[in-house]
């Protein structure tokens, strides 16, 4: 019996990509979205409505650049800024939905309540799905399920770690309730946690608050969006060339390089941010603003919280400050309440390549976008969908359950050695390597050797340039004819929105003026003379 009907749970960036990919593969998607619109957490809303817990705060801006964050066959408009405000991401998603005509596959205000194997699962691989459509229960049968419900659905707030917090008289809440800074004018605020959200919220508040304290247990390495020569960080670091070099280096060499680089920007020890862990052991925090607010005295970094009193906080170093409001930026956990069957996932949520549960007799359940790439999630979840749909159709086979478990175990051991024991770090993967791994499964990883022979100009950009998602549309199933052009024009799209004041004697709108500021003194000459000859 051929697989046809696919349920997609959630219409965030992962769900929308999944619908599109189903159509591309000739499958019939039905998407259930608990809230009234697309976009998932990128859809900013003042109030939380039922069916959806989390939206970004008002000012939230992407921390991955547009060329690295695009769907692989749908680049962002060239005039869009490199780091996009959440409203621009929504605009893009709306354009994507319109362009590929996805809206008619989405059932809004329809929450998936339960997903259960059918009694004949071991032969059919089918699922019973029960949804709550605006208060009305409906049942469906599906050949396969794509879980795209996101991993920011359960705020993590370990209240027992904060003695005295219930005694504290002022308001305190988890960062997911934070929307905008107006209410905090003139207040003394403590932000607990120095992840991306903690750093963002603390920096934003420090413009209006009387004082902001940022408490951190173990510090953090801070990197920035604006990288060398003003390039978007990810376009410089996440290249095939770097990934190749990294394979030749030891972990400690990479750590040393990264830490020196980040300390050259500001000394993490003096700024009170020095972390006990090495750069690669834990997710770094992306913030261009944090060091600036610290050096301007608007924000103070403090150690771990020891306890709260009625109107103050005492830190582990013994210091004490008065605060009016406490915000806990302590992160999220995720859950799949709708999966009733315990045999689907073990307690550690072990998944083969972070997508398939090895426990199932039939591979008809895929988790999309649960992995934590060091880089953009959108193209990763899209590629996972491309793999998953081909597995559903039987075009790709998974290894045996025991082989999958062996690989999962190996990866878990490796992660435990390399990373801190931490909920998030257990799902962290390097962007280029993980993309290539999934791409290899479905034969869409660019073949560099043949590319060098056929199209050296393109091969050059694929190898040395940012590893943009279009690379995975150059060959194999799902090949897109626009991929080559998208790759060769990506640097122009990066420069375009920056060139708002064009100098009379400036360089033409080309990557060279930007990428190779030091062309004149010859440093990068060898690499680029190659390309200028081809031009």
Ligand X SMILES: *[C@@H]1O[C@H](CO)[C@@H](O)[C@H](O)[C@H]1NC(C)=O
Query: Which window, 30-38, 259-267, 310-318, 408-416, contacts ligand FAD (CB under 6 A)?
Result: 30-38
365-367/144-147 β-pairing: parallel
**C-alpha to C-alpha distances, 334 to 77, 350, 370, nearest whole angstrom:** 33, 14, 9
Q: How many residues bind ligand FAD, per CB under 6 A?
A: 35
Return the number of other C-beta atoms located less than 10 Å from residue 401's C-beta.
14
| Rounded least distance, CB 291 to ligand X, Å | 16
42 binds, among ligand X, ligand FAD, none (CB under 5 to 8 A by kind): ligand FAD
Binding mask 168-187 for ligand X (x = CB under 6 A): ---------x----------
Identified binder of ligand X from the candidate list 1, 2, 47, 520, rule CB under 6 A? 47
Neighbours of 265 (CB within 10 A): 12
239 binds ligand X (CB under 6 A): no
Q: Which residues touch 334 (CB under 8 Å, ≥6 apart)?
A: 149, 150, 151, 152, 153, 154, 370
- Using CB under 6 A, which of 7, 14, 105, 157 touches ligand FAD? 14
Provide the edge-to-edge strand list for the sheet that holds 136-142.
Answer: 110-117, 127-133, 136-142
Binding map of ligand X across residues 345-384, x = CB under 6 A, - = no contact: ------------------------------x---------
| Closer CB to ligand X, 65 or 389, in the complex | 65
330 binds ligand X (CB under 6 A): no
User: Of 31-39, 112-120, 192-200, 353-361, which part binds ligand X (CB under 6 A)?
Assistant: 192-200
102 or 233: CB nearest ligand X = 233
Mention every residue, 6+ apart, whose C-beta is less than 8 A from residue 185: 208, 209
Q: Enumerate residues 117-156 that contact ligand X by CB under 6 A.
A: none
**Contact indicator for 515, 532 with CB cutoff of 8 Å:** no
Quick one: which segment of 33-41, 125-133, 195-203, 491-499 binds ligand X (CB under 6 A)? 195-203
Strands (E), 289-399: 299-302, 305-308, 312-315, 320-322, 325-328, 332-333, 365-367, 372-374
* Residue 99 or 337 having the CB closest to ligand X: 337
Residue of 29, 181, 331, 369 that binds ligand FAD (CB under 6 A)? 369
User: Residue 197 or 281: which CB sits closer to ligand X?
Assistant: 197
Q: Which of 146, 199, 220, 377 binds ligand FAD (CB under 6 A)?
A: 377
Report the partner that residue 10 touches, choosing among ligand X, ligand FAD, none (CB closer than 5 to 8 A by kind).
ligand FAD
201 near ligand X, rule: CB under 6 A: no
**Phi, psi angle pair for 32, to nearest 5°:** -110, 125
Tokens 């400050």 belong to which residue? 321
Residues 33-52 that bind ligand FAD (CB under 6 A): 33-35, 40-42, 52
Burial 213-230 (b: 16+ CB within 10 A, else e): bbbbeebbbbbbbebeee
Token pair for residue 396? Answer: 């790709």
Residues recorded for the chain: 535
CA dist 85 and 457 (Å) reads 33
The site string for ligand X over 270-299 (x = CB under 6 A, - otherwise) reads -------------x--x-------------
Sign of the four-CA dihedral 135, 367, 40, 223: positive
Nearer to ligand FAD, 92 or 352 (CB): 92
Q: Rule CB under 6 A: is residue 331 a binding residue for ligand FAD?
A: no
Report the residue number, 62 or 325, with the smaller CB distance to ligand FAD: 62
Partner that binds at residue 9, options ligand FAD, ligand X, none, CB closer than 5 to 8 Å by kind: ligand FAD
Reading phi first (left if > 0) and then psi (alpha if -120 to 50, else beta), residue 125 is in left
Tokens describing residue 233: 């960080």
For residue 452, give the 3-state DSSP assignment: helix
* H or E, element range at 89: helix 86-99
Note the residues at the interface with ligand FAD (CB under 6 A). Answer: 9-15, 32-35, 40-42, 52, 56, 60, 62-64, 69, 111-112, 148-150, 152-153, 197, 338, 369, 376-378, 381
Note the residues at the interface with ligand X (CB under 6 A). Answer: 47-48, 63-64, 177, 195-197, 283, 286, 375
């Amino acid at each position: 019996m051929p697989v046809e009907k696919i349920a997609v749970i959630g219409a965030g960036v992962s769900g929308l990509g999944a619908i599109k990919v189903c159509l591309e593969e000739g499958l019939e998607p039905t998407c259930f979205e608990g809230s009234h619109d697309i976009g998932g957490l990128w859809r900013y809303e003042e109030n939380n409505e039922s069916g959806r817990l989390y939206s970004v705060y008002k000012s939230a801006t992407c921390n991955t650049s547009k060329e690295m964050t695009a769907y692989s066959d749908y680049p962002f408009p060239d005039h869009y800024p490199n780091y996009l405000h959440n409203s621009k991401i929504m605009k893009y998603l709306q354009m994507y939905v319109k362009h590929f005509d996805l809206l008619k596959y989405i059932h809004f205000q329809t929450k998936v309540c339960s997903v259960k194997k059918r009694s004949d699962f071991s032969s059919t691989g089918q699922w019973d799905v029960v949804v709550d459509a605006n208060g009305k229960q409906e049942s469906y049968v599906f050949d396969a399920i794509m879980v795209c419900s996101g991993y920011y659905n359960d705020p993590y707030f370990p209240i027992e770690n904060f003695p005295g917090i219930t005694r504290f008289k002022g308001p305190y809440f988890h960062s997911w309730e934070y929307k905008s800074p107006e209410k905090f004018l003139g207040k003394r605020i403590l932000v607990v946690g120095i992840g991306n959200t903690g750093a963002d919220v603390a920096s934003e508040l420090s413009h209006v608050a009387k004082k902001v304290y940022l408490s951190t247990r173990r510090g953090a390495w801070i990197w920035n969006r604006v990288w060398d020569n003003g390039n978007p960080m990810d376009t410089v670091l996440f290249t095939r060339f770097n990934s190749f070099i990294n394979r030749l280096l030891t972990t400690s060499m990479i750590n040393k390089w990264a830490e020196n680089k980040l300390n050259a920007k500001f000394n993490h020890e003096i700024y009170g941010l020095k972390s006990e862990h090495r750069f690669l052991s834990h997710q770094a925090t992306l913030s261009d603003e944090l060091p600036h607010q610290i050096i301007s005295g608007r924000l103070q970094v403090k150690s771990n919280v020891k306890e709260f009193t009625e109107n103050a906080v005492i830190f582990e170093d013994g210091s004490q400050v008065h605060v009016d409001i406490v915000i806990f930026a302590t992160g999220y956990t995720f859950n799949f309440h709708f999966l009733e069957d315990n045999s689907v996932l073990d307690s550690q949520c072990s998944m083969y390549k972070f997508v398939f549960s090895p426990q199932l007799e039939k591979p008809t359940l895929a988790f999309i976008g649960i992995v934590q790439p060091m880089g953009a999630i959108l193209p990763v979840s899209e590629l996972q969908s491309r793999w998953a749909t081909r597995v559903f159709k039987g075009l790709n086979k998974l290894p045996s359950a025991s082989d999958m478990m062996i690989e999962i175990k190996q990866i878990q051991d490796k992660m435990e050695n390399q990373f801190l024991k931490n909920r998030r770090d257990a799902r962290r993967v390097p962007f280029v390597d993980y993309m290539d791994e999934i791409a290899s499964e479905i034969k869409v990883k660019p073949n560099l050797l043949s590319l060098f022979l056929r199209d050296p100009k393109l091969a050059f950009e694929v190898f040395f340039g940012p590893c943009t998602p279009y690379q995975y549309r150059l060959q194999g199933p799902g090949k897109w004819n626009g991929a080559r052009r998208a790759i060769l024009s990506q640097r122009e799209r990066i420069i375009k929105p920056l060139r708002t004041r064009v100098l009379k004697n400036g360089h033409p709108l080309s990557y060279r003026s930007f990428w190779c500021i030091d062309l004149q003194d010859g440093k990068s000459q060898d690499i680029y003379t190659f390309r200028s000859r081809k031009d």
